């Protein structure tokens, strides 16, 4: 433990990030190595094009959206702390959290994971997934495999099933309910963290 916490001193805000995100010292060190590797020019921050070097994102049909989630609105760079805070959403959910100082609703909780996923759809951030926003994601994910008509009918069905208040859009609550039985950990795994 002694050696890993001393090397953690080389990681910017290492101790604080460990507390906040639940990543171990060893894990944070690996993420910092990864970050420095992506930060080719040693600027201390990443731009969206730096993420192209991550195959799991560049090959992911909605990789651009996931990369976009690393950036706050209007910002073009992401520093190491923000990088880690976003990646914390991809940590497996802990069933029995008794860790001292743990956040009441940490980034890897089911609720926070769902919120993260919801924002990948809700690009105008109005708190609802509109039919158009849903269609855009489906188009990116399914691409050439389906016709426009099939896409429309998949979207119709998804909205019909999830849209409880019949406003033709999916609120976060409706989104959460429609995914009640889905293993979100499995859906939101990313090899990046191994
Ligand atoms: Ca929206
Ligand atoms: Ca609705």
Task: Tell me the per-residue pLDDT of 6-42, one tens digit each, with 9 for 90 and over.
Answer: 588 889 999 999 999 999 999 999 999 999 999 999 9
| Spans of all domains in the chain | 14-91, 108-183
108-183 fold = Recoverin; domain 1 (1.10.238)
pTM: 0.87
Confidence of residue 88 (pLDDT cuts 50, 70, 90): very high
CATH class of 14-91: mainly alpha
* Distance from the alpha carbon of residue 175 to the mean position of ligand 2, in angstroms: 9
* Distance from the alpha carbon of residue 171 to the mean position of ligand 2, in angstroms: 5
SS (H, E, C) 46-93: ECHHHHHHCHHHHCCCCHHHHHHCCCCCCCCCEEHHHHHHHHHHHCCC
pLDDT for 188 equals: 77
125-173: per-residue pLDDT in tens?
999 999 999 999 999 999 888 999 999 999 999 999 999 999 999 999 9
pLDDT for 149 equals: 95
Tokens 């909780």, located at residue: 109
Ligand of minimum distance to the alpha carbon of 125: 1
Same fold for the pair 14-91 and 108-183: yes
């Amino acid at each position: 433990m002694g050696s890993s916490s001393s090397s953690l001193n080389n990681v910017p805000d290492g101790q604080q990030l460990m507390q906040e995100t639940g990543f171990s010292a060893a894990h944070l060190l690996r993420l910092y190595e990864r970050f420095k590797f992506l930060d080719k020019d040693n600027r201390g921050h990443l731009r969206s094009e730096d993420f192209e070097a991550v195959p799991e994102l560049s090959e992911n049909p909605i990789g651009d959206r996931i990369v976009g989630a690393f950036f706050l609105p209007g910002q073009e760079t992401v520093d190491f702390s923000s990088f880690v805070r976003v990646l914390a959403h991809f940590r497996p959910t802990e069933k029995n959290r008794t860790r001292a100082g743990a956040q009441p609703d940490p980034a890897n909780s089911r609720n926070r994971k769902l919120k993260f996923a919801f924002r990948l759809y809700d690009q105008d951030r109005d708190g609802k997934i509109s039919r158009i926003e849903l269609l855009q994601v489906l188009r990116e994910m399914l691409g050439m495999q389906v016709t426009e008509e099939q896409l429309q009918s998949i979207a119709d069905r998804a909205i019909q099933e999830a849209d409880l208040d019949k406003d033709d859009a999916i609120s976060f609550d409706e989104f959460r309910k429609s995914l009640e039985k889905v293993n979100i950990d499995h859906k939101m795994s990313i090899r990046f963290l191994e």
